[in-house]
A = this chain, B = another copy of it.
Amino acid sequence: MNVSRRALLIGLGAAGGAGAMYAAMNALGLAPGEQRSEFEAPRPSDFALRGKAAAKVIVLGAGIAGLTCAYELGKAGYDCTVLEASDRIGGRSLTLRGGDGLTDTTGERQTAAYGEGVYFNAGPARIASWMVTLDYCRELHVPIEPFVNSNASAYVYTSGMKAPVRFRTARADVYGHLSELLAKATSQGALDEAVQPADKQLLLDFLRQFGDLGERTTYGGSERRGFAVYPGVEPGAPLPPPPTLSELLGYQLAPALTFDLSADQAMPMFQPVGGMDMIVQALADAVGRDRIKTSYPVTKIVNVPDGVEVSHQDGTMKAAYCVAALPPHVLAKIPGNLDSSVLAALRVAVPFSAGKLGLEYGRRWWEQEDRIYGGITETDLDIGRIWYPSEGFHRPRGLVVGYYNFAGDADAYAALRHPERLEKALAQGERVHGAKYRKDLLSSVSVAWANRPHIEGAWANMPPSALLQEPAGRVYFAGDWLTHLVAWQAGAFESARHVVTSLHERVLKEN
């Protein structure tokens, strides 16, 4: 959507409310309330019309941002070369399979021993339906499938609890107690100022359904909690009675019960069939493998009047433009002649830690015994959460993410070697799943993003930088860290599109 349509809609929304905006959106042929910025890929005909030619571009970094820049520019015939410091493409979009090796900045080397068909998305693993990532899956013919981001049958386990509780049970109890409380306040007249008399009955009716309260508008449990024995020929056998409000508040359930309400985590979410790096591989194929050089770290980036000179192991390469699609804190360390204000802006970035552990089991006990088919168990332990696989249901093997943790918890695991990480995580997982958590374990790999060479962090937090949205001379910057979608592949795609548009406009004017 171009700027004027966007401004029009925002203006209409503010002035005329939803009705006016939806009417306008309908007139423009748009679905209500879910748009992204429009993008038109450069085309060869853009040059033909103007009698100009595509330029040579060096892209630094073969992550999603870098590959997308080369892909989109390549559509119009730009001569792109992608230089990747590490020995594999994809950057943080890392899917590990049997035989894959991983050497950290600490020198520790792991090799995945996963069986046939088992994979571990060690980096990004889920896509929201509104994200541009899905458009690239469609364009690049990468099949997708649902990613189960939240599961009523998975557990919540916090230090306030005696034993793990299913999400469905926790949710039913919270909604029940809140509804009872609010019904009480409403009935007693405590909210007569906030609730119009005509709405009081509507509110009570709503709460009765929202909390499954029954006629007395008190919460005494609900079939929504699940059952000790599920119904069949016999009626279901109920679980033990719900906790009191006071017990429930002590469980500190808010983080677990609200994460999937956010715009970027709401169900359903999606994943590429076969592993997240299917997107990377499809992008690389579209760019042309011969244009991508791995194990090719850059040692210097110099703006010169008619181009950019990039130094590397084989000498110096020159191009009309350069796109630096590296993490900001890594880029800031590369020598060259970038302006000090630019370097200062890059150095504002704070790398953030995250870690993941991929546990391969020879039996899908979470499906067979716990009836958990995909989804996430949330804890307040140092493992953060346990993910169950959203694919390969009922197969003999499966991969469970034994931790996905952040900040201090991730740093603590990053400081350990893999065998210690594994032991620590298994001990925590046992608190949720009991002894079976150690049984049938076949192999494992852990990733500490802070220790990944040339990446050095799971993502980088920084305030929006107007300066870095613009090129520094002939060097452009691309990456999720430049967008409002930090840590999402969608941010890398959006940033790449922004750079491509801006670079192409300049080339059309300047050449």
Contact = CB atoms under 8 A, between A and B. Distances in A.
B1 A37 contact: no
Contact of A137 (B9, B148, B230, B394): B394
Interface in A172-222: 172, 174-175, 178, 181-182, 184-186, 188, 190-191, 194-196, 198-199, 202-203, 205-206, 209-210, 212
B233 A484 contact: yes
Of the listed residues A188, A198, A239, A390, the one surrounded by the most CB atoms of chain B closer than 10 A to its CB is A239
B172 A13 contact: no
Nearest to A3: B234
Contact of A153 (B18, B34, B37, B146): B34
Given A19-B163, A148-B268, A235 B484 contact: yes
A231 B152 CA distance: 29
A134 to B, nearest CB: 8
Interface string A364-381: 000001111111000000
A13 B393 CA distance: 31
A224 B262 contact: yes
Interface residues of A, number: 128
A65 B458 CA distance: 52
Contacts of A267: 148, 150-152, 267-268
A21 B240 contact: yes
A250 interface: yes
Q: How many copies does the complex hold?
A: 2
Contact of A229 (B35, B134, B261): B35
A206 B263 contact: no
A242 to B, nearest CB: 9
A449 to B, nearest CB: 23
Interface stretch (A68-76, A251-259, A300-308, A326-334): A251-259
A166 interface: yes
A149 B493 CA distance: 29
A241 interface: yes
Interface of A: 1, 6, 9-10, 13-14, 16-19, 21-23, 26, 30-37, 129-132, 134, 137-138, 143-146, 148, 150-153, 162-166, 168-169, 171-172, 174-175, 178, 181-182, 184-186, 188, 190-191, 194-196, 198-199, 202-203, 205-206, 209-210, 212, 223-241, 243, 245-246, 249-250, 253-255, 257-258, 261-263, 266-268, 270, 369-375, 390, 393-394, 434, 464, 469, 482-485, 490-491, 494-495, 498
